[in-house]
Amino acid sequence: MSWVTTAMLSVLAASYGEADAGRKVFNDAGIGTRGVSCAHCHATVEDENAGDGLVRAGHTLFGVAKRGYWRGDTKRKSFATLNEAVDECVKLFMGTDGLEGADKITLAAYLKSLSPKKKARPDLDTGLVPNNDYDRPEFRGGDADRGRPLFFAACHSCHPNGGAGIAPTLEKSSVADIAKKVREGNGLLRGSRQPGQWMPSFGRERLTDQQVADIAAFIQTRR
Ligand code: HEC
Ligand code: HEC
């Protein structure tokens, strides 16, 4: 084997090892202070219908390293690099300042390994309407039977069985409270993040209004 081939192979081996370590960082709920991992909120498969069936607030990160921009920042003014776009999630949702050292390097290698081809940034449909009142007909009269599997796919990881986990119990939440929290999360989408809060919002392309209504109906049966 020529030294060139040997050198190339060892670089490849190093990057495979790094991507492998980065996959563990991606799934590690201990990298921040809130017990939540990247995998709680992002799938990594190309076609989410071919994934594990969970409904996550964020988009799949398949192809993310080859996207032209992140977080809707088309001119890359706020997030010039993928690492900066990742750190924004770490700050907003995971409760620490940003990744450092080996975690940062291996996670970047893993995200790169998920990006064999160019994939357009998925469009966000936030589901926000100008009317701030969530006591609306579209969220009332949901079907608890349809809501049950949706609840376990979308909410159970943080609100186990509707009780307290890494997030609070939903015991006292009304249908309108639930619809508001699902659509607005920590409030950032309306431009003012509620201090200390970090629930991500689910846009309409993640859960339709009907599905939010069904989940809310199911939660009402758990009291
Ligand atoms: C509590 C949920 C949550 C956690 C935890 C989280 N994210 Fe996010 N992330 C989101 C949401 C919501 C968005 C905005 C919607 C979207 O673009 O997917 C987002 C956006 C992103 C984007 C921008 C995607 C784009 O193309 O614009 C990247 C990159 C990203 N997250 C990476 C990560 C990584 C890596 C981690 C772990 C270190 C992480 N996120 C942790 C919820 C989360
Ligand atoms: C990634 C974790 C996560 C997921 C997934 C999640 N939540 Fe939450 N939720 C939180 C956190 C954290 C809070 C506490 C308030 C905050 O920090 O924003 C919360 C608060 C709430 C509240 C307000 C409860 C109160 O009394 O303050 C409601 C209602 C709620 N969530 C509903 C839902 C529903 C419905 C789903 C599924 C569609 C869901 N959440 C999915 C993390 C999550």
The answer to whether the CB of 219 falls within 8 A of the CB of 150 is no
Nearest CA owner, ligand 1 atom 42? 58
Question: Which listed ligand is nearest to 158 at the C-alpha?
Answer: 2
**Amino acid present at 57:** A
The answer to whether the CB of 98 falls within 8 A of the CB of 32 is no
Statement to judge: residues 62 and 142 lie in one domain: no
Residue 176 maps to which CATH number?
Answer: 1.10.760.10
Statement to judge: residues 197 and 159 lie in one domain: yes
Statement to judge: residues 107 and 68 lie in one domain: yes
The tokens for 29 are: 């709920």
Q: State the pLDDT confidence band at 65, using cuts at 50, 70 and 90.
A: very high
Statement to judge: residues 33 and 95 lie in one domain: yes
Statement to judge: residues 101 and 146 lie in one domain: no
Ligand 1 atom, smallest distance to 73 CA: 27
When pLDDT is averaged across residues 176-181 and rounded to a whole number, the result is 97
Burial of 7 (0-12, 13-18, 19+ CB in 10 A): exposed
Nearest CA owner, ligand 1 atom 8? 89
The pLDDT value given to residue 175: 97
Statement to judge: residues 143 and 109 lie in one domain: no
Statement to judge: residues 59 and 147 lie in one domain: no
The pLDDT value given to residue 9: 53
Check if 25 has its Cβ closer than 6 Å to any atom of ligand 1. Answer: no
The tokens for 24 are: 């563990």
Statement to judge: residues 20 and 109 lie in one domain: yes
Q: How far is the CA of 106 from the centre of ligand 1 (A)?
A: 17
Q: State the pLDDT confidence band at 15, using cuts at 50, 70 and 90.
A: low
Write the pLDDT tens digit of every residue in 131-154: 889 999 999 999 999 999 999 999
Nearest CA owner, ligand 1 atom 33? 86
- Residue 207 covered by a domain: yes
**What is the count of structural domains for the chain?**
2
Statement to judge: residues 41 and 106 lie in one domain: yes
pTM over 0.75: yes
Domain extent for 46: 3-113
Question: Which listed ligand is nearest to 95 at the C-alpha?
Answer: 1
- Residue 187 covered by a domain: yes
Statement to judge: residues 27 and 85 lie in one domain: yes
Q: State the pLDDT confidence band at 54, using cuts at 50, 70 and 90.
A: very high
Write the pLDDT tens digit of every residue in 115-129: 998 888 888 899 998
- Residue 75 covered by a domain: yes
Block residue for tokens 């088309």: 74
Nearest CA owner, ligand 1 atom 12? 58
